[in-house]
């Protein structure tokens, strides 16, 4: 029996446009993530549940139509970025099952047949699986940023893995603070070097928490993620939406299931992607 993997990956609106700062991320989305998913092999997932940082709601909300248009949730980008298409199907039955699984975890799920797929879905998926031949169900993160609720969301989604339905969290867990990112974008080598020391300390602590094999240790570590060193610099208070997909993914991992990871480089600092249930990729 194939048990589908879980991947907490990093995305942005620019990879599909060839932005130089995303070169490493582009490579990984085109090469590493398809290997983790087993695309082109008999173990390829029959569907993907994708938790996106760009859909924040009060309750876990699920895209529930068999077709969703794209929602271009970015501004002042090149014209071609508004002509992108990703015609994968949705899946109403899986959406309903997710709602039921969330309710079994004590969470109130809500179906949304109208909202389009945001760039947290279509940007990475255009690179991961341009054939668009695997159904996708999009799931929101919570405005409360409550770690416990996001872990329980993951626990609900974990039950789909034995049906060969993969779970992807689409965020930017290593860093999503525009104040700090502007420093990186400036190209100031000394400032980038100093920030990388801070970023490395954060990533090391985060990786220890995320790769804990014990469910109890993993959950406890991520419940307290705001206490990790430099957490508020990496994700400002009340601005942790790009971290939430990782917490959901950690909740979807099994007890005794250890995460692996790879690193990309973005503007001079390391950006981590964590995954469970797949062989290590180079």
Specify the pairing of strand 47-57 against strand 165-171: parallel
Q: So what's the pLDDT on residue 126?
A: 94
32 in any annotated domain: yes
178 in any annotated domain: yes
- The Cα–Cα gap between 230 and 208 comes to 15
Specify the pairing of strand 6-10 against strand 269-276: antiparallel
CATH number of the domain that 256 lies in? 3.40.830.10
Helices (H) and strands (E) in the chain, counts: 10, 8
Q: So what's the pLDDT on residue 21?
A: 78
1 in any annotated domain: no
Q: So what's the pLDDT on residue 13?
A: 59
Do residues 250 and 8 lie in contact, with contact meaning Cβ atoms separated by under 8 Å? yes
Average pLDDT over residues 52-69: 98
Residue 199's nearest CA partner among 241, 230, 172 is: 230
Q: So what's the pLDDT on residue 2?
A: 85
- The Cα–Cα gap between 278 and 249 comes to 14
196-230: pLDDT as tens digits: 999 999 999 999 999 999 999 999 999 999 999 99
Report H helices in 3-52.
23-27, 33-37
Q: Extract the runs of DSSP E, i.e. beta strands, from the chain.
A: 6-10, 47-57, 61-63, 110-112, 136-142, 165-171, 260-266, 269-276
Count of structural domains, the chain: 1
162 in any annotated domain: yes
pLDDT beyond 70 at 12: no
Average pLDDT taken over every residue of the chain: 95
77-119: pLDDT as tens digits: 888 889 999 999 999 999 999 999 999 999 999 999 999 999 9
- The Cα–Cα gap between 177 and 116 comes to 25
Q: So what's the pLDDT on residue 14?
A: 67
281 in any annotated domain: no
> What is the span of the domain harbouring residue 247?
6-276
18 in any annotated domain: yes
Phi, psi of 58 (to 5 degrees): -75, -30
Tokens, residue 32 = 């590493």
pLDDT beyond 80 at 20: no
121-131: pLDDT as tens digits: 999 999 999 99
């Amino acid at each position: 029996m194939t048990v589908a993997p879980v991947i907490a990956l990093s995305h942005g609106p620019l990879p599909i446009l060839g932005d130089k700062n995303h070169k490493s991320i582009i490579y990984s989305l085109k090469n590493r993530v398809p290997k983790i998913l087993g695309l082109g092999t008999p173990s390829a997932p029959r569907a993907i549940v994708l938790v996106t940082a760009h859909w924040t709601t009060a309750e876990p909300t699920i895209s529930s139509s068999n077709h969703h248009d794209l929602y271009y949730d970015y501004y002042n980008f090149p014209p071609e970025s508004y002509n992108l298409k990703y015609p994968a199907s949705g899946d109403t039955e899986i959406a309903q099952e997710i709602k039921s699984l969330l309710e079994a975890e004590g969470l109130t799920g809500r179906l949304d047949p109208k909202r389009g797929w945001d760039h947290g879905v279509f940007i990475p998926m255009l690179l991961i699986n341009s054939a668009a031949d695997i159904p996708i169900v999009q799931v929101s993160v919570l405005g409360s940023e409550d770690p416990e609720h996001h872990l329980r969301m993951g626990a609900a989604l974990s039950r789909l893995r034995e049906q060969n339905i993969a779970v992807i969290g689409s965020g930017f867990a290593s860093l999503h603070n525009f104040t700090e990112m502007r420093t990186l974008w400036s190209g100031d080598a000394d400032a980038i070097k100093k920030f990388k020391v801070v970023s490395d300390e954060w990533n090391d602590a985060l990786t220890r928490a995320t790769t804990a094999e014990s469910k109890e240790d993993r959950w406890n570590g991520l419940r307290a993620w705001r206490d990790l060193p430099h957490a508020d610099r990496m994700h400002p208070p009340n601005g942790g939406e790009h971290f939430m997909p990782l917490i959901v993914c950690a909740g979807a991992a099994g007890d005794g299931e250890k995460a692996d990871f790879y690193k990309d480089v973005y503007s001079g600092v390391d950006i981590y992607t964590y995954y469970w249930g797949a062989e290590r990729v180079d």
